[in-house]
Amino acid sequence: MKKAVVLLSGGLDSTTCMAVAKNEGYELYPISFDYNQRHKRELALAKKIADYYGAEGHKIISMENVGGSALTDMSIDVPAYKGDHQIPITYVPARNILFLSYALGYAEVIGAEAIVIGVSAVDYSGYPDCRPEFIEAFQKVVDVGTAAGVEGKSIKIITPLIHLSKAETIELGHQLGAPYHLTTSCYNGEEEACRVCDSCVLRLKGFEEAKLEDPIVYK
């Protein structure tokens, strides 16, 4: 069976990616990251999601906290949603570069054909590492910087949500039976989601536009 490494945060988008990869016949090898994020409860949920799909070899990678973000520095408050596309203080420096690099190494080790990541160029909160330009550039790195790439068996970076709105993502996951009840999105990382951070606002708006009920608990 073909294999895919899925970047699994425990959030809505990455869980949708698990559903998409499963539906496309991949054997799932999720990888999650402990980077001292404020919302660390997502890691426990990522494990539940991996178990839900009977995934193989779920890895949780511990990384040094480099700071510089409201998600990793407890002295910086998580801001309320502003609705613009300025790069927000919740941006974690070079996060997706680091995540994809780890995932790429794992993919080479297990002989995976693909890496699946849930970036979106539509509802992306202004993060530069969620844009098509970044994915295209990283694919070039894969092609020229790995044994698989130079041997003509390059690992494909798959972005099934790249052109979808949050509502379209939710509709897709709902059709595929994604376990959204096991997910979390809130940047504050509490048991009850805050409703006001970027991630909560985009999630709630997405469920409303999709005309579906969000199964998680909010304040």
Determine whether the annotation assigns residue 143 to a binding site. no
Determine whether the annotation assigns residue 11 to a binding site. yes
- Can you tell me the distance from the alpha carbon of 109 to that of 99, in angstroms, rounded to the nearest whole number? 16
| SS3 assignment, position 50 | helix
Count of CB atoms within 10 A of residue 92's CB? 21
Contact 29, 69 (CB under 8 A): no
Determine whether the annotation assigns residue 8 to a binding site. yes
Please state whether beta strands 3-7 and 114-116 pair in parallel, antiparallel, or not at all (unpaired). parallel
Determine whether the annotation assigns residue 152 to a binding site. no
Determine whether the annotation assigns residue 83 to a binding site. no
Determine whether the annotation assigns residue 130 to a binding site. no
Contact 32, 61 (CB under 8 A): yes
Q: How many helices (H) and strands (E) does the chain have?
A: 7, 5
Determine whether the annotation assigns residue 194 to a binding site. yes
Determine whether the annotation assigns residue 197 to a binding site. yes
Determine whether the annotation assigns residue 18 to a binding site. yes
The pair of three-digit structure tokens given for residue 178, joined into one six-digit string: 């994604």
Determine whether the annotation assigns residue 17 to a binding site. yes
Specify the DSSP class assigned to residue 70. Answer: T
Determine whether the annotation assigns residue 32 to a binding site. no
- List the binding residues for ATP: 8-18
In the annotated binding site, the residues are 8-18, 186, 194, 197, 200
Q: Which residues are part of a known binding site for Zn(2+)?
A: 186, 194, 197, 200
